[in-house]
Amino acid sequence: MEITLEEIQKKFESLPEDLRWAIMAANVDEKITAMGKEHNLTVEQMGQLSLETHMVMFGFTHPNKFEESVKASLGFPEDKNKIIVNEINEKILKDIRERLMTLYGKAEEKKNEEIMTGAGIEIMPTEAKEQASTSQTVDTKNLTENSDDMLKKIENPEIIAKEKRNEEIARSISSQKLSGSFQVPSTKTEYSLPNTEKELKKNITEPVVGKAVGSPKIDPYREPVE
């Protein structure tokens, strides 16, 4: 796959800013050189491995195709190829790979929407989907509540009769208010205090029993005062 420097620059500038910073901070060539010495790679092999790694980082090669691409480019034995690719994924592409997979997921979703739109299938926006889901939930709840009320009324006919009486009373009060002759019906209440009432009657009808009040006593030995 032949890619020009201009294409690489354009692709790099199209990446999200956080991903660009992650790529610049990855120190790819330095880490590839260290791995190359460990695995006895030639300078040419290290250069090609660095290129394949950058192809993933810039978005030209899908992260899931990295192992396949390295094997096709460098021709390593299966076991050695897997070890080197796993080491690059762990030491260089770990954080970048997660960002790339998120980016590819969004691109794939957009591509699917374009295909469906081209086929005449209308795609509902995410916000509209959420609103429709909320509205459906509310309608279902109201329908359930109405059904429950209806079942209660069928099982208990007195509820319907009571509601009907309440409606008639409410209509009557409304009519009286409109005609200006609204009256609150009075209820006559009799309060009886039997013990207190008997005591009062007893005090009125019965004479007071006590000491007889007579004339004052006169001392016979006392001289009269002139």
Q: What is the pLDDT of residue 7?
A: 86
Domain definitions of the chain by residue range: 5-116, 126-163
Q: What is the pLDDT of residue 53?
A: 92
The tens digit of pLDDT for each residue in 183-198 reads 545 545 444 444 545 5
pLDDT, mean over the chain: 70
Q: What is the pLDDT of residue 124?
A: 55
Question: Given pLDDT bands bounded at 50, 70 and 90, which one contains residue 210?
Answer: very low
Average pLDDT over residues 35-48: 94
Residue 167 has pLDDT above 50, yes or no: yes
Q: What is the pLDDT of residue 112?
A: 44
Average pLDDT over residues 30-44: 94
Out of 14-28, 141-155, 184-198, the most confident range is 14-28
The tens digit of pLDDT for each residue in 214-226 reads 555 555 555 555 5
Tell me how far apart the alpha carbons of residues 85 and 83 are, in angstroms, rounded to a whole number: 6
DSSP3 helix / strand / coil % (the chain, rounded to 5): 70, 0, 30
For residues 157 and 90, the model is more confident at 90
191: left (phi over 0), alpha (psi -120 to 50) or beta: beta
Instruction: Report CA-CA distances (Å) from 108 to 53, 100, 101, 112, 115.
Output: 22, 12, 10, 6, 11
- What values do phi and psi take at 213, rounded to 5? -95, 110
Average pLDDT over residues 50-63: 88
